[in-house]
Amino acid sequence: SQQGEEDPQALSIQEGENATMNCSYKTSINNLQWYRQNSGRGLVHLILIRSNEREKHSGRLRVTLDTSKKSSSLLITASRAADTASYFCATASFSGGYNKLIFGAGTRLAVHP
Amino acid sequence: NAGVTQTPKFQVLKTGQSMTLQCAQDMNHNSMYWYRQDPGMGLRLIYYSASEGTTDKGEVPNGYNVSRLNKREFSLRLESAAPSQTSVYFCASSDQGPSNQPQHFGDGTRLSIL
């Protein structure tokens, strides 16, 4: 069952513009993670935000988390053609002795030169 | 830095054939996972191994078996392949312990079953 749901499903922008992707989830979490997937490759971890954090930055990435609304957003500033990829949110909980991640269906981002 | 290595990268099978997907990680991680990714969907967990010697079912385990051969290696076996198992399969690993740990993924095995 998918917990995270990304919005929009697809996003097309010009280089230099900002890209915002949203993620909503249903149950309580320990943390929320964002991953990027380039075409034909595996997922690469971008950023992790804990349930007691509200905002986190990493380079051109800014992630917010609102646990009261059960939602998160990923902002990529000053986008580049190399940012073209699919972006997935994943909600994390630790149970049964392992770090369980539930992924959303992803947002496909296209950045045009 | 190899990270997580999956073999093979591509495979075509006929219905009813069997095969094993291999995965190895060199990061000394305790936990390993197998996911499948289908078009328009997020990754779904097939099986996981919280630590060497243990394996458990995930969300979609039917038609699959796994073996945690040692701390480095975690294989996925299809005993009698079906067209519904056509998918891209990803192996991942993470450190056990606190839940605030990211997972590291291989580049996937693209499997087609005719």
Tens-place pLDDT, residues B57-111: 998 999 999 999 899 999 999 999 999 999 999 999 998 655 678 899 999 999 9
CA–CA dist A35, B36 (Å, integer)? 16
Closest partner CB to A101 (pick from B50, B98, B103): B103
State yes or no: pLDDT of A17 exceeds 50: yes
DSSP secondary structure letters along A28-40: --SEEEEEEE-TT
Provide the mean pLDDT of chain A.
91
Summarised one tens digit per residue, pLDDT across range B27-53 is 999 989 999 999 877 899 999 998 888
Asked if A50's CB is within 8 angstroms of B100's CB, the reply is: yes
DSSP secondary structure letters along A2-56: ---EEE-SEEEEETTS-EEEEEE-SS--SEEEEEEE-TTS-EEEEEEEETT-SEE
State yes or no: pLDDT of A1 exceeds 60: no
Interface probe for B, chosen from A38, A43, A53, A91 (most Cβ of B below 10 Å), is A43
State yes or no: pLDDT of A49 exceeds 90: yes
User: Where are any strands of DSSP class E within chain B?
Assistant: 4-7, 10-13, 19-25, 31-37, 43-49, 56-57, 64-68, 74-78, 87-94, 104-105, 109-113
Asked if B108's CB is within 8 angstroms of A98's CB, the reply is: no
Q: What is the mean pLDDT of residues A16-41?
A: 94
A83 vs chain B: nearest CA distance in angstroms? 18
Which residues of chain A approach chain B closer than 8 Å at the C-beta?
1-2, 4, 30-31, 33, 35, 40-45, 48, 50, 88, 90, 92-94, 96-106
Closest partner CB to B108 (pick from A30, A42, A48): A42
Summarised one tens digit per residue, pLDDT across range A79-110 is 999 999 999 999 987 766 666 788 999 999 99
Q: Which chain B residues are closer than 8 Å to A1 by Cβ?
A: 59
State yes or no: pLDDT of A54 exceeds 80: yes
Handedness of CA A83, A103, A58, A68 (dihedral sign): positive
Asked if B45's CB is within 8 angstroms of A98's CB, the reply is: no
Label residue A3 by pLDDT band (50, 70, 90): low
Reduced to 3 states, what is the DSSP secondary structure of residue A78?
coil
Q: Which chain B residues are closer than 8 Å to A36 by Cβ?
A: none
State yes or no: pLDDT of A25 exceeds 70: yes
Label residue A111 by pLDDT band (50, 70, 90): very high
Provide the mean pLDDT of chain B.
92
pLDDT of residue B1: 64
Closest partner CB to A98 (pick from B31, B43, B104): B31
